[in-house]
Amino acid sequence: MFHGKKVVVVMPAYNAAATLQKTHEEVLAQGIVDHVIVVDDASADETLAIAETLPHTTVHRHAQNTGYGGNQKTCYRLALDEGADIVIMVHPDYQYTPMLIPAMAAIISSGLYDCVLGSRILGGGALRGGMPWWRYVSNRFLTLIENLLMGSKLSEFHTGYRAFSRRLLERLPLHVNSNDFVFDNQMLAQILWLGFGISEVTCPTKYMPEASSINFVRSVKYGFGCLATAAAYRLARMGLCRFAMFP
């Protein structure tokens, strides 16, 4: 227990055999994680076999690939079923360092914020850490538009390193969100819609050949999805339209 709260790390895994064990070892090395949940989204490699050897871990496998968003829906449902008070999503591809887990958990535990993001943009090290220039430019452009339409001031909407309080996850209608990558963006829009505060901590950027990444075509699709989410948020705030993702 961390300050009397149960900390559960969730890992949405897909073809993560090369980095899963290393990431898991560093997660447990932080000394505050009570349990890990790995959801294997019908990987074609040895992800499942490796996951089943890991200590203090619940492993769930999807019979068919549901997508990144669909994987997260299962992750958060299982974490709440596990009795988690603090849920931290860590990608098993080792792109985000688990060393930030104690800091992120502390912010949630304090009660000041119900969501913490590990931002690759804060600190200005994204490009030095290997983020492709086109990805950096698109990140900054999309974040600018999203901040304008949603009235927020986040440094980025597109990090996959996130921590949540139990009470926040219980309020979010995640089931109506996409099963694709835009799920991340929709989730943050819902958090802002419900009036929950979002904190950010600087996260070192680390791009490796074995780390997961979506291709350019899917990135373009994701970008349009983000813009559509922000536009829907603004229209809903203005009372011009109603959307299921904004209750």
pLDDT recorded at residue 184: 97
Q: How many domains does the chain have?
A: 1
Q: How far apart are CA 75 and CA 84, in angstroms?
A: 11
Q: Is residue 157 part of a domain?
A: yes
Cβ atoms 116, 40 nearer than 8 A: no
* Contacting residues for 146 by C-beta, under 8 A, at least 6 apart: 152, 154, 157, 185, 226, 227, 229, 230
Enclosing domain of residue 206: 7-237
Summarize pLDDT for 150-172 with one digit per residue, the tens: 999 999 999 999 999 999 999 99
Measured CA to CA, the distance from residue 150 to residue 68 in angstroms comes to 24
CATH of residue 218's domain is: 3.90.550.10
C-alpha 209: how far from its chain's center?
A: 21
- Point out which residues pair with 61 in neighbouring strands: 40
Mean pLDDT by groups of 10 residues along the chain of 247 residues:
95 97 98 98 98 98 97 98 98 95 98 97 81 88 98 96 98 98 97 98 78 72 96 97 94
Residue 247 resides in a domain? no
Q: What amino acid is encoded at 236 in this protein?
A: A
Q: Is residue 1 part of a domain?
A: no
- The answer to whether residue 245 sits within a structural domain is no
Query: Within a domain: residue 243?
Result: no
**pTM tops 0.75:** yes
pLDDT of residue 213: 59
What backbone torsions phi and psi does residue 86 show, to the nearest 5 degrees? -130, 125
| pLDDT value for 212 | 54
Q: Helix/strand/coil (H, E, C) string of 34-71?
A: CEEEEEECCCCCCHHHHHCCCCCEEEEECCCCCCHHHH
